[in-house]
């Protein structure tokens, strides 16, 4: 009985690995590994960001180490061809290719979707597929499988599509989308780095860039799978009808997100109040806005609501916020001298701004005393309002005690018949 060709290839590979020339290849391989390590160490430098896609937390756990080592291994294999039988590099090159694909995919997905449990599953799936493809390639099974899958085909319109085309298209789609996510994450990090007043514009540019790159990646993947891109015209028309009917709310939220970022009517860091919820804007995405209240609760508000409803923005033109507090003093108190003292006491509180200065007004003749309203301004409402109002009240109480002014309280006389 004839032996399968894969068994013959394995026998030849094992026989070549047992030859004395394999020691030369191993020595060259060690030199390639050390060379790749030295290159990555030199490129990283002392100021490189830890945990990046290229360098990782250590030298060998980033995507650059297997890529540079693979490049050196391919160069060494080309140099040794014709000099010694190639055996070790036949085994090592597919391993380095799989390792480079896994490292690049995992690093990019972790950078683009930090903390996502679904990405953990995708990472493990990519790892298993890459290692399985490497084993099948070394054993010679993968070319035979691809040839058989190429024979399974059918026609879609004027195009002939095989199972092999679909698999290659899927692999290409993953690689292209990973590349698009990596490029968009890199640009987003650079755009948002050091941003202050123009953070919203940079966030909009980063979101638009990611959407464009993913769209281009999908087109490349469809082309690699053998799908005629002219058919996307019909698909685009159907998608437009779907957006107009079933996805109108989703489309409205996405469009509203870009309008908010472009008009800068609301920016990251602004103190806003919408639908009874008050807090600071911590993130503006293309679909929703995250508002964090001072007590730690977060509200996810659809962007359409921020466009169609009334929104109170305490930081749009000026971050300063006016606060008031009320105190009663007894009738007969020396108001002309007392009111400047109370204004000065409120102005001594650390968070109260000097311009506009605090003011005191006689707001009401109450039943038990004269009601004074103290108005003061703060410039950091995101740090809380109740705490600064409490500090002002304590300062006012101290000033009243120093001035010897009584704070009246209701008195009732009960007569017994």
Same domain, 300 and 388: no
pLDDT in tens, 120-153: 777 677 778 777 877 777 777 777 777 777 777 7
Tokens linked to 310: 């009334």
- Which residues have CB under 8 Å from 357's CB, separation 6+? 343, 347
Tokens linked to 167: 């698999």
Same domain, 10 and 140: yes
Number of domains in the chain: 3
Round to whole Å and give the CA distance between 178 and 108. 7
Angle between helices 199-224 and 163-192 (to 10 degrees): 170
Which pLDDT score is estimated for 231? 56
Round to whole Å and give the CA distance between 132 and 340. 82
Angle between helices 64-80 and 21-44 (to 10 degrees): 140
- 59-65-66 Cα angle (round to 5): 140
Distance in angstroms between the alpha carbons of the first and the last residue of the chain = 125
Report how far apart, in Å, the C-alpha atoms of 71 and of each of 33, 35, 417 are: 11, 11, 107
Longest dimension (CA), the chain: 125
Assess contact for 107 and 56: CB atoms under 8 A: yes
Range of 300's domain?
A: 261-313
Which pLDDT score is estimated for 48? 55
Which pLDDT score is estimated for 4? 45
Which pLDDT score is estimated for 386? 84
Same domain, 62 and 79: yes
Which pLDDT score is estimated for 393? 92
Same domain, 147 and 281: no
* Best CA proximity match to 29, nearest among 95, 80, 87, 73: 73
Which pLDDT score is estimated for 1? 37
Assess contact for 84 and 21: CB atoms under 8 A: yes
Assess contact for 185 and 164: CB atoms under 8 A: no
Same domain, 9 and 55: yes
Assess contact for 358 and 395: CB atoms under 8 A: no
Domain boundary among the residues 278, 313, 348 is at 313
What per-residue string of b and e applies to 287-311 under the rule 16 or more CB within 10 Å gives b? bbbbbeebeeeebebbbbebbeeeb
- Identify the segments of the chain with pLDDT beneath 50: 1-5
Domain boundary among the residues 151, 168, 183 is at 151
User: CATH no. for residue 346?
Assistant: 3.30.70.100
Angle between helices 335-347 and 386-403 (to 10 degrees): 140
Q: What is the pTM of this model?
A: 0.44
Where helices occur in 113-198 by DSSP H, the ranges are 117-139, 141-151, 163-192
């Amino acid at each position: 009985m004839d032996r399968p060709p894969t068994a013959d290839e394995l026998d030849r590979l094992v026989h070549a690995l047992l030859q004395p020339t394999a020691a030369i290849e191993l020595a060259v391989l060690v030199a390639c590994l050390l060379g790749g390590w030295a290159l990555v160490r030199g490129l990283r430098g002392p100021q490189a960001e830890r945990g990046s896609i290229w360098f990782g937390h250590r030298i060998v756990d980033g995507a650059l180490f297997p890529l540079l080592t693979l490049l050196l291994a391919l160069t060494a294999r080309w140099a040794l061809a014709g000099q010694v039988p190639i055996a070790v590099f036949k085994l090592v090159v597919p391993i380095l290719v799989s390792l480079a694909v896994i490292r690049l995919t995992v690093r990019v997905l972790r950078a683009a979707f930090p903390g996502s449990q679904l990405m953990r599953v995708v990472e493990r799936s990519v790892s298993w597929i890459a290692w399985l493809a490497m084993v099948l390639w070394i054993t010679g099974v993968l070319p035979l499988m691809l040839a058989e899958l190429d024979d399974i085909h059918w026609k879609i319109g004027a195009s002939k599509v095989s199972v092999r085309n679909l698999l290659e298209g899927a692999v290409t789609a993953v690689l292209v989308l990973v590349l698009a996510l990596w490029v968009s994450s890199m640009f987003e990090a650079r755009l948002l780095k050091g941003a202050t007043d123009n953070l919203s514009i940079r966030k909009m540019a980063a979101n638009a860039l990611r959407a464009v790159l993913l769209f281009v990646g999908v087109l490349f993947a469809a082309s690699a799978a053998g799908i005629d891109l002219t058919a996307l015209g019909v698909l685009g028309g159907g998608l437009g009808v779907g957006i107009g009917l079933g996805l109108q709310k989703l489309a409205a939220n996405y469009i509203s997100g870009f309008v908010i970022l472009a008009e800068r009517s609301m920016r990251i860091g602004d103190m806003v109040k919408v639908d009874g919820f008050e807090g600071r804007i911590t993130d503006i995405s293309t679909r929703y806005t995250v508002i964090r209240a001072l007590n730690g609760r977060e509200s996810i508000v659809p962007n359409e609501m921020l466009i169609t409803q009334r929104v109170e923005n305490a930081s749009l033109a000026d971050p300063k916020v006016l606060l008031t507090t009320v105190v009663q003093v007894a009738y007969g108190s020396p108001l002309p001298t007392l009111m400047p003292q109370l204004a000065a006491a409120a102005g001594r509180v650390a968070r109260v701004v000097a311009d506009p200065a605090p003011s005191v007004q006689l707001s009401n003749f109450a039943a038990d005393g004269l009601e004074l309203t103290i108005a003061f301004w703060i410039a950091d409402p995101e740090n809380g309002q109740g705490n600064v109002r409490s500090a002002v009240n304590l300062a006012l109480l101290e000033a009243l005690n120093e001035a010897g002014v009584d704070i009246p309280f209701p008195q009732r006389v009960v007569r017994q018949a």
